[in-house]
């Protein structure tokens, strides 16, 4: 990895050669090696615009966020290729619209 003032150039594997290899420093974080973090590139379908679709695996929990004039039901979502520590809280209505088969 070459370092600059505001950007870093990464050495990417050959199967990612089509991805631009320079990233702004705000997009990068120090990495601590962990063998459980290895995800083969073949398992993730990256679109030409460098986006990919997260796949919902399981709803782990539910709660209601109470605001002054309304309540927002939330669900804790486990995503494919992510650990339970990386689960996120999402609006239940949004998840119902996208992944209705889990409700």
101 has pLDDT over 80: no
Q: Rounded to an integer, what distance in angstroms lies between the CA atom of residue 58 and that of residue 77?
A: 6
**Token reading at 94:** 């949004």
Residue written as token pair 């966020």: 65
* DSSP label at residue 67: -
Q: How far apart are CA 55 and CA 59, in angstroms?
A: 12
Domains of the chain: 2-43 (no CATH), 56-102 (2.40.50)
pTM of the full predicted structure?
0.51
Give 6-54 pLDDT, tens digit per residue: 888 888 888 888 888 898 888 888 888 887 777 666 667 777 887 877 8
d(CA 24, CA 9): 9
């Amino acid at each position: 990895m070459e370092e600059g003032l505001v950007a870093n150039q990464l050495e990417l594997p050959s199967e990612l050669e089509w991805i631009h290899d320079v990233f702004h420093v705000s997009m990068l974080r120090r990495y601590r090696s962990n063998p459980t973090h290895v995800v083969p590139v073949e398992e993730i379908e990256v679109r030409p615009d460098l986006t990919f679709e997260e796949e919902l695996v399981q709803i782990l929990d539910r709660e209601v966020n109470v605001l002054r004039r309304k309540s927002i039901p939330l669900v804790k979502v486990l995503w494919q290729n992510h650990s339970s520590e990386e689960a996120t809280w999402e609006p239940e209505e949004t998840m119902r619209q996208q992944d209705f088969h889990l409700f």
